[in-house]
Amino acid sequence: MKLYQKLLKPIGIYPLVYFRILFGLLMFCEGVGAVLINWVQEHYVEPTYHFGYIGLEWIKPLPGYGMVYVFLLMALLGFLIMVGWRYKISAFLFFLLFGYGFFSEKTHYLNHHYLIFLISGLMVLLPAHRKLSMDVRRKPELESDVAPQWTLWLFRVQLLFVYFYAGVAKLQPDWLAAKSMSIWMANKTHFYVIGPYLNTPFMIELVVWGGIVFDFLIGFALLWPRTRMAAFWVAFVFHIFNSAVFHVGVFPYFMIAANVLFFSPEQIARWFFRKELNLIALQREPLKQPGWQQRLGVQFFILYLGWQLLFPLRHFFIPGDVNWTEEGHRFSWRMMLRTKRGTVYYIVKDPATQRQERVRLQKYLAREQLREIPKHPDMIWQFAQFLEREYKKQGMVAPEVYAVSSLSLNGYPRHPIVDPEVDLTSVPYTWGAKSWVTPRPEADGWPWKKRVMAETEK
């Protein structure tokens, strides 16, 4: 009951207002920028085949330049969120459109796109339009100086999970041995001024061990008032470094803006809005939401964060190395952990005539898809199902589709990632470990993993 009362305690609404403005501005820039740099065209317009999420393949991108208009519409909705015009409708439509773009093509899956999708959904539920918005100008009775405390802690705990689980993911031999980081830094030496310093043992070790310490501690340091200011500036430098070196789009600036939410509502009101909050008066001001909405909000807070606590851990319960099999990688805040390079081609056999044909993937897939498909067993399986349908259209009654793959993970020697002797049209796609996905070779620095699995089977 005490927790319930604390979560419903009135606090200044200015953190929500601040984040509404910054979120809207960043989403406006993201939508326009994605079109201007041809990112939308490369990922949605040029490909003739799209990899949907398994179970959601019915979500298809719009044909032609339809997705360009979708992103421009998202940019407009970001602007409307920023100024607070028809906020609830604008935020809900942005959430739907961003989710539509996200789930209609998984080739370019990024953790920060997933985070934006989650945050945009949370924004729909929060009363961020009840101050300094066009909605308040239109309907003054909407205005409020307070919001329930859970609305602020929802963001804080979500960010804490993102950081902490990124640290958990780095506790693996390949990261500690700087396998992926060495490859990445070797490709950054051409950068102006900083390039020669990136591919040095000191810098690589600093990023490897500093990344672990940062991810594990930064969320808690932001929560503690005594270390909050120092932690914020450490996070600021960290994210600017990532932006400069790894070119991860809007994500660093999004995280910097979100980290401000760890400061108190009084500080945010004073810094960004030049308002001095009267804490005693705020605590006396009633929340404008009906009682049932307040109770529902607290229940959502608990259920949502409970899911965010558990869902990223699912790969620990799936046999095999997640960096190799990709089982449980997505939606788990596993960032910057592996470098994969590989190839795959398909052999289609006609069992009636014993005729076989090698498929030319360039006929169907765009450049980015060709790079990504050898890395992901689920994408290899999906494309096999597509080829089965294509060859049936050409008159082949029961085509068999085999994938011949070769993959290098973090610089180790290449190995097949799927069994080339398995007809992929004959196996269903199931959750968890799959018999047709090869295990990561023991020689790749993971002998302890095989021993543990053998002992478990005994």
Neighbouring residues of 24: CB distance < 8 A, sequence distance ≥ 6:
78, 79, 80, 81, 82, 83
CB 420 within 8 A of CB 402: yes
Residue 456 has pLDDT above 80, yes or no: no
- Reference 146, options 343, 344, 8; nearest CA is 8
Task: Report residue 165's pLDDT band, with 50, 70 and 90 as the boundaries.
Answer: very high
Residues 94/95/101/106 CA torsion (nearest 10 deg): 150
User: DSSP character for 116?
Assistant: H
Neighbouring residues of 212: CB distance < 8 A, sequence distance ≥ 6:
167, 170, 171, 175
pLDDT of res. 187: 87
Burial of 181 from C-beta contacts in 10 A (0-12 / 13-18 / 19+): buried
Q: Is the pTM here over 0.75, yes or no? A: yes
pLDDT of res. 291: 76
Mean pLDDT over residues 371-375, rounded? 97
pLDDT tens readout for residues 264-314: 999 999 999 999 988 777 777 778 777 777 888 889 999 999 999 999 999
Grouping H, G, I as helix, E, B as strand and the rest as coil, residue 62 is coil
Q: Locate all alpha helices (DSSP H) within 311-433, ordered by sequence.
A: 322-325, 367-372, 377-393
pLDDT of res. 279: 77
| pLDDT mean across residues, the chain | 92
pLDDT tens readout for residues 120-155: 999 999 999 999 999 999 999 999 999 999 999 999
CA distances from 43 to 50, 115, 123 (A): 9, 19, 27
Query: What tokens were used for 372?
Result: 């990504």
Least confident of 169-178, 244-253, 275-284, 398-407: 275-284
